[in-house]
């Protein structure tokens, strides 16, 4: 059966052929990078509304955390491709502090698409053409009263009493099931509790938790209606993502010190290793208990969906539940992740991408249990038509449908029916929860109960002192900023007195400054801001403007006054020179990659440092003596590397002369205070940690062994959970952006997940 086709869009002299993923101007193709085309499509599909930056990031990059400036770069490239000049508003309008709007008249042209293959199954007509019947269950009017009811209860009874009453109050407003059936029950209340799994009869719940306070996550089991949990595993490393066998006697889970797939008795015992290997994820027993489905790959925020490297973001596999040689499934896919079994075990549904197509093939797919006959479900089109944002992560497939959550900053539990016979979506999505936290890992029992984790992540700036002789941490991390809104490190002035950070405390990204001696904080920008870098003396801040139609870098005096434009059609790359006279910027190239350029502040003279025909060059920083530049590159879906080039040649440095510092994986490089080493984030031990590579004083080639400067293995305090890892090293102190995480597990009682 042919995959569903989508309309073409016509505006001005342009035609966007969605099926062929081509933009034509008067019949001639306009070259667009895949993510730029995705950005255009998102703008057009939301043309009647303002689409926020968060929505665009979720739509184009899914649950991937994007390097700083990625969205702004796409918008700039798109405006150039459409021929928009600065301050024109023919196609794209920036709505300050809100997002973007596509303003040109658009006509949908169904006739431009080839004829569809007709379906013989009338029931699946909606799912095959990717359209929704408009019956998405939205938050009912009564549910808007939940916040008011909770607030009144909090005032009348006190916060603690309101929290105790909340489950019974909220149960009145969840889902479209009968009100007496839709009921939320809180199952845990301490620490970080994630990845719930329900036994088939719904009597037991397994989950991952750090409540043992041993520095890692373990598997615990408790009665589904509460009571004291029992610790089932106690190995080294995180043990996560449990799932019950069909008879409830065994639990399979992923993790361990070296990674792998294990089984263990539901009431305890010695875990048995079935498959060994790093980054093994989400094991699931088949309905007959004979096989375990799992996938292998990087977490979604490390790689870019749509990049097309085979297996870069995930490889689907099965292994016999008694052990043996694993079998790889869906080999023809560039990515296959988050697999779940059909209720009868004859099919497997997974989140996949076929090839390097910029995300055009991203969808749920259904294959036979032997791995053959892949069918695209049409889930992504159905959800986008219903304006459900994010990447849908399937959690369980039951007779009622696939229960899933979405990779968004605010994610809820949804249900979408998929026919095991045809492999296509049937009907529209049904929203089951309406919480404001990040809801993850939906699981379902045979009797219709749904468990999920509700996670809260607090992003702040932290610091840790470094040993003067070794350069590694010599103490525990200390919090520098503290606010419920995300605070993300930008940099620290070279004199160590002022911290520049980005925060959404006022509802949008703005640049803030903190006096590290007095602790005083103040907001510097008030109309939105992107990246920023404070000068070495702490008196000037270079900021990527977020208020105009054209990308530019502006200079702000920290004492006040109006900003001045430093450069147009440019972005911040990294740092200042030691005397504050020069700044590294990015010049966007039409091919979609950047050139790293040194800009003289007074004369505006530019000297190109280096460029690459295919890779982007990011986070470029000058050495303390200003003679070298370190940066990281985006080579491939699962590969980032760190390099050093000289800055004193007054000519672009050929790629062959780049000095490799981190050939395996490295991002956000920073020089040590004396230039004798380079700090960077790496995944080499399975976690995003800071490492230090000593370098030769003259050539800057690596010397000696790589050192772990600071590990971030604690489950409740890690780098890059929902914030891009970033760091700065000033005056013997390592500053980092960290995410503090807490989470608890809730259960949606029987009835909410029943067939409808």
Q: Report all structural domains of the chain as residue ranges with CATH numbers, in order of start.
A: 8-115 (1.10.10.10), 467-731 (2.120.10.30)
Confidence of residue 142 (pLDDT cuts 50, 70, 90): very low
Q: Looking up tokens 């900003």, which residue turns up? A: 563
Confidence of residue 198 (pLDDT cuts 50, 70, 90): very high
Q: What is the mean pLDDT of the chain?
A: 81
Predicted pLDDT at 306: 34
Dihedral of the alpha carbons of 635, 641, 642, 648, in degrees to the nearest 10: -30
* E strands in 201-279: 204-209, 218-223, 230-231, 239-244, 250-255, 260-265, 272-276
Q: Does residue 754 register a pLDDT over 60?
A: no
What's the per-residue H, E or C state across 65-105?
Answer: CCCCCHHHHHHHHHHHHCCCCCCCCCCEEEECCCEEEECCC
**3-class secondary structure, 535:** coil
Predicted pLDDT at 305: 34
What is the mean predicted confidence (pLDDT) over 584-593?
70
Give the whole-angstrom CA distance, residue 269 versus residue 179.
Answer: 41
Predicted pLDDT at 750: 53
Predicted pLDDT at 574: 79
Confidence of residue 551 (pLDDT cuts 50, 70, 90): confident
Could you read off the pLDDT of 396-426 as tens digits, one per residue? Answer: 999 889 999 986 666 889 999 999 999 999 9
Give the whole-angstrom CA distance, residue 73 versus residue 113.
Answer: 30
Give the whole-angstrom CA distance, residue 62 versus residue 514.
Answer: 33
Could you read off the pLDDT of 512-539 as tens digits, one per residue? Answer: 999 999 999 999 998 888 889 999 999 9
Predicted pLDDT at 116: 33
Q: Does residue 590 register a pLDDT over 70?
A: no
Q: By the 8 A CB rule, do 209 and 192 touch?
A: yes
Could you read off the pLDDT of 159-184 as tens digits, one per residue? Answer: 233 333 233 323 322 333 333 345 78
Q: By the 8 A CB rule, do 597 and 584 touch?
A: yes
Predicted pLDDT at 150: 32
Of residues 256 and 371, which shows the higher confidence score? Answer: 371
What is the mean predicted confidence (pLDDT) over 124-142?
28
**61 C-beta neighbours (distance < 10 Å), count:** 24
What does 625-645 look like in DSSP terms, one character per residue?
TSSEEEEEEEEETTEEEEEEE
Give CA separation, 712 vs 129, 368, 462, 741, 746, in Å.
46, 40, 12, 13, 28
* Signed CA dihedral, 383, 389, 391, 396: sign only: negative
* Signed CA dihedral, 427, 428, 429, 432: sign only: negative
Least confident of 10-24, 131-145, 310-324, 461-475: 131-145
What is the mean predicted confidence (pLDDT) over 312-321?
86
Q: Does residue 564 register a pLDDT over 80?
A: yes
Give the whole-angstrom CA distance, residue 630 versus residue 648.
Answer: 13
* Signed CA dihedral, 465, 471, 475, 476: sign only: positive
Of residues 109 and 378, which shows the higher confidence score? Answer: 378
**286 C-beta neighbours (distance < 10 Å), count:** 20
What is the mean predicted confidence (pLDDT) over 588-597?
67
Give the whole-angstrom CA distance, residue 11 versus residue 108.
Answer: 9
Q: Does residue 355 register a pLDDT over 80?
A: no
Q: What angle do CA 271, 274, 280 make, to 5 degrees?
A: 100
What's the per-residue H, E or C state across 119-169?
Answer: CCCHHHHHHHCCCCCCCCECCCHHHHHHHHHHHHHHHHHCHHHHHHHHHHH
What is the chain's alpha carbon radius of gyration, rounded to the nearest angstrom?
26
Q: Does residue 386 register a pLDDT over 90?
A: no
**Structure token digits, residue 153:** 């209860």
Distance of CA 349 to the CA centre of its chain: 22
Predicted pLDDT at 183: 77
Predicted pLDDT at 635: 78
Give CA separation, 361 vs 352, 634, 657, in Å.
8, 22, 38
């Amino acid at each position: 059966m042919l995959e569903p086709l989508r309309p073409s869009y016509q505006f001005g002299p342009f035609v966007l052929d969605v099926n062929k993923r081509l933009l034509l101007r008067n019949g001639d193709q306009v070259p667009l990078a895949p993510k730029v085309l995705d950005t255009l499509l998102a703008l057009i599909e939301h043309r009647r509304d303002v689409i926020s930056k968060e929505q665009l990031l979720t739509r184009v990059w899914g649950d991937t955390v994007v390097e700083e400036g990625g969205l702004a770069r796409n918008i700039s490239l798109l405006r150039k491709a459409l021929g928009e000049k600065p301050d024109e508003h023919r196609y794209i309008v920036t709505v300050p502090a809100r997002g973007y709007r596509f303003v040109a008249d658009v006509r949908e042209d169904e006739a431009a698409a080839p004829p569809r293959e007709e379906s013989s199954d009338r029931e699946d007509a909606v799912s095959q053409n990717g359209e929704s019947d408009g019956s998405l269950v939205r938050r009912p009017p009564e549910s808007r009263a939940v916040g008011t009811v909770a607030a009144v209860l909090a005032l009348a009874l006190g916060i603690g009493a309101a929290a105790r009453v909340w489950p019974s109050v909220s149960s009145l407003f969840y889902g479209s099931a009968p009100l007496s059936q839709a009921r939320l029950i809180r199952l845990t209340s301490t620490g970080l509790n994630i990845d719930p799994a329900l036994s088939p009869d719904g009597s037991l719940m397994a989950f991952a938790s750090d409540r043992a306070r041993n520095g890692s996550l373990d598997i615990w089991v408790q009665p589904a209606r509460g009571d004291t949990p029992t610790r089932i595993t106690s190995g080294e490393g995180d043990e996560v993502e449990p799932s019950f066998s069909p008879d409830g006697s065994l639990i399979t889970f992923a993790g361990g010190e070296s990674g792998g797939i294990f089984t263990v008795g539901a009431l305890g015992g010695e875990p048995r290793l079935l498959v060994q290997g790093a980054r093994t994820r989400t094991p699931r027993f088949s309905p007959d208990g004979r096989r375990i489905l799992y996938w292998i790959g990087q977490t979604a925020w490390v790689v870019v969906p749509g990049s097309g490297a085979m297996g870069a973001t995930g490889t689907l596999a099965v292994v016999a539940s008694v052990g043996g040689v694993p079998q790889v499934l869906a080999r023809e896919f560039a990515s296959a992740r988050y697999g779940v079994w059909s209720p009868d075990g004859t099919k497997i549904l997974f989140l996949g991408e076929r090839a390097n197509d910029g995300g055009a093939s991203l969808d749920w797919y259904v294959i036979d249990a032997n791995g053959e006959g892949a069918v695209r479900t049409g889930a992504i089109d159905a959800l986008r038509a219903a304006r459900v944002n994010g990447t849908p992560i399937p959690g369980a497939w039951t007779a009622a449908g696939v229960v899933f959550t979405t990779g968004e900053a605010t994610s809820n539990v949804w249900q979408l029916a998929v026919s095991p016979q045809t492999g296509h979506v049937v009907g529209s999505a049904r929203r089951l929860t309406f919480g404001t936290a990040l809801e993850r890992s939906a699981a379902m029992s045979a009797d219709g109960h749904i468990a999920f984790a509700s996670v809260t992540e607090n992003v702040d700036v932290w610091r840790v002192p470094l040993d003067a002789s070794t350069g590694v941490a010599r103490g525990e991390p200390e919090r520098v900023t503290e606010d419920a809104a995300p605070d993300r490190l930008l940099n620290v002035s070279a004199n160590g007195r002022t911290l520049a950070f980005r925060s959404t405390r006022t509802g949008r990204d703005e640049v803030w400054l903190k006096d590290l001696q007095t602790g005083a904080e103040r907001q510097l920008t008030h109309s939105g801001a992107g990246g920023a870098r404070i000068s070495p003396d702490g008196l000037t801040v270079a900021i990527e403007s977020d208020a105009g139609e054209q990308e530019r870098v502006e200079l702000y005096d920290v004492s006040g006054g109006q900003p001045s434009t430093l450069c147009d059609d440019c972005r911040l790359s990294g740092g200042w020179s030691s005397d504050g006279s020069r700044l590294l910027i990015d010049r966007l190239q039409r091919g979609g990659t950047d050139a790293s350029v040194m800009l003289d502040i007074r004369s505006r003279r530019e000297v190109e440092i280096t460029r690459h025909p295919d890779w982007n060059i990011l986070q470029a920083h000058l050495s303390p003596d200003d003679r070298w530049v370190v940066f990281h590159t985006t080579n491939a879906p699962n590969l980032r590397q760190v390099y050093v080039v000289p800055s004193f040649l007054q000519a672009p440095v050929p790629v062959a002369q780049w000095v490799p510092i981190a050939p395996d994986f490295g991002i956000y490089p920073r020089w040590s205070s004396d230039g004798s080493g380079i700090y960077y984030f790496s995944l080499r031990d399975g976690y995003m940690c800071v490492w230090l590579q000593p370098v030769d004083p003259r050539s800057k080639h690596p010397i000696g062994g790589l050192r772990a400067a600071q590990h971030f293995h604690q489950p409740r305090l890690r780098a890059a959970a929902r914030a891009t890892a970033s760091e700065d090293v000033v005056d013997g102190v390592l500053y980092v952006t960290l995410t503090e995480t807490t989470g608890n597990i809730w259960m949606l009682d029987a009835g909410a997940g029943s067939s409808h």
